[in-house]
Structure 1
Amino acid sequence: MSERIEISTEYIPLGQFLKLSNVVESGGMVKLFLSEFEVFVNGELENRRGRKLYLGDTVEIEEFGSFTVVREE
């Protein structure tokens, strides 16, 4: 089961997404986190913190779980 992360904009950069989903504590930790953990966006390995995530995108991180981007209600 994937955790739903709500956004109110058209997209969210991966770095902000990791903060919003409480995977990292601050934006400064994102680059280091992406160098140490494998992050998959829609099944593809991703290491760019600026990668745009849109509604319906799925982010999977081993040891942290799976997250899906949804519209804020």
Structure 2
Amino acid sequence: MRAVEISEEPIRLGQFLKLAGLVEDGVHAKELIEDGEVHVNGRVENRRGAQLRVGDVIVVGDQEVSVSIRG
């Protein structure tokens, strides 16, 4: 699992997916989320604006990342 640092929490799911390099852009994020391909802490997340916090684990396909704070 790879940790992706954010500068402050919370961060929206769509923003985090872009920051982590899991999607190309906001449209791609929206499509993956609507298709049920994004899991947060083991559950399908269908809200692009879902608030993520340090320690949350996001899975897209075979990629798994966690949210960590910079500093």
Q: State the alpha-carbon separation in 2 of the partners of residues 48 and 25 from structure 1.
A: 18
The question of whether the paired residues in 1 share the 8 Å contact of 2:22 and 2:60 is answered with: no
RMSD over aligned Cα, in angstroms? 1.3
Aligned to 1:70: 68
1:1-73 to structure 2, matched below 5 A, reads 2-36=1-35, 38-63=37-62, 65-73=63-71
Alignment-mate amino acid for residue 72 of structure 1:
R
Q: Post-superposition, which runs of at least 4 consecutive aligned residues in structure 1 deviate over 6 A?
A: none
The answer on whether the counterparts of 1:37 and 1:61 sit within 8 Å (CA) in structure 2 is no
**What is the distance in 2 between the residues matched to 1:40 and 1:30?**
12
Q: Which runs of 5+ in 2 are unaligned?
A: none
Q: Secondary structure at the match of 1:48?
A: coil
Using the aligned pairs only, state the percent identity: 42
Unaligned runs of 5+ in 1: none
Check whether the contact 2:32–2:38 (CA below 8 A) recurs between aligned residues: no
Residues in 1 aligned to 2:48 and 2:14: alpha-carbon distance in whole angstroms: 5
How many pairs does the alignment contain? Answer: 71
